[in-house]
Amino acid sequence: MHGEPAVAVLRLGHRPGRDDRMTTHVGLTARALGADRAIFAGGSQAAETVRDITDRFGGPFEAEVTDSPKAVLRNWDGRIAHLTMYGERVQDVEDEIRATRDDDGESLLIVVGAEKVSFDVYEAADWNVGVTNQPHSEVAGLAVFLDRLFEGRELDREWEDADQEVVPMETGKKVVDPDGEEQ
């Protein structure tokens, strides 16, 4: 989060149309919960949406598109955690994963699939991780994983170069510009 070693999220298996909103939510969740960048397969409009949100609400955060997610996996310089309901329990492996980043300085690629993920992804991953071994949502799995990886520190991050900022309120909505003027 915010500097080295980087945490990136790779979204695999996007099916245009069907997965558009889920893929966008993967990207926005990656940004909001402390990752440094998201990498989307070609055919998704998600990178554009995420860049637009970053322009308005701040960064730093990078959204990239790749034609070869497999090459991203193959060439990743660091560790790889693949989120899957078939994997080891997050509560059992999170400390080890966190240590490779916090103590050993290794960057982390978090892989998030859509429906079927091919077996070579399971083999390329240093960890296959289940946020529960129940079928639910790749967005939910990513969110819990990031919150645990960063131990909640991502919730306190500062955002740079935002055009607008939401001010937390008991009731109602308050949005201010960089000078603190209500919008």
Among 14, 31, 37, 101, binds a copy of itself (CB under 8 A): 31
H or E segment and range at residue 127: strand 127-130
Q: What do you get for the CA distance between the two ends of the chain, in Å? A: 29
Q: Which of 137, 151, 160, 177 binds a copy of itself (CB under 8 A)?
A: 137
**Residue 46, interface with a copy of itself (CB under 8 A)?**
no
Please indicate if the annotation marks 96 as binding a ligand: no
The 68-97 site mask, x for binding a copy of itself (CB under 8 A), equals -----------------xxxxxxxx-----
Largest CA distance in the chain: 52
Beta carbons of 121 and 12 less than 8 angstroms apart: yes
Residue with tokens 């991780």: 129
Nearest 10 degrees: Cα torsion 107, 36, 49, 131: 60
- Residue 65 or 159: the one with the smaller Cβ distance to a copy of itself is 159
The piece of 4-12, 30-38, 72-80, 98-106 that touches a copy of itself (CB under 8 A) is 30-38
Q: How far is CA 166 from CA 36, 62, 73, 128, in A?
A: 21, 21, 36, 36
132 binds a copy of itself (CB under 8 A): yes
| Rounded (5°) CA angle 129-108-33 | 80
Q: How far apart are CA 125 and CA 81, in angstroms?
A: 6
User: 90: closest CA among 125, 130, 128?
Assistant: 130
Name which of 4 and 119 has its Cβ closer to a copy of itself: 119
- Pick the closer one to a copy of itself by CB: 65 or 144: 144
Q: Choose the stretch contacting a copy of itself; rule: CB under 8 A; options: 35-43, 68-76, 105-113, 136-144.
A: 136-144
Residue type, 70: K
Q: Total residues contacting a copy of itself (rule CB under 8 A)? A: 56
> Binding site for S-adenosyl-L-methionine: residue ranges?
83, 113-117
Please give the residue ranges that form the binding site for a copy of itself (CB under 8 A): 18, 21-22, 25, 28-29, 31-33, 53, 57, 85-92, 119, 122-123, 125, 127-128, 130-137, 139-144, 147-148, 152, 154-156, 159, 165-174
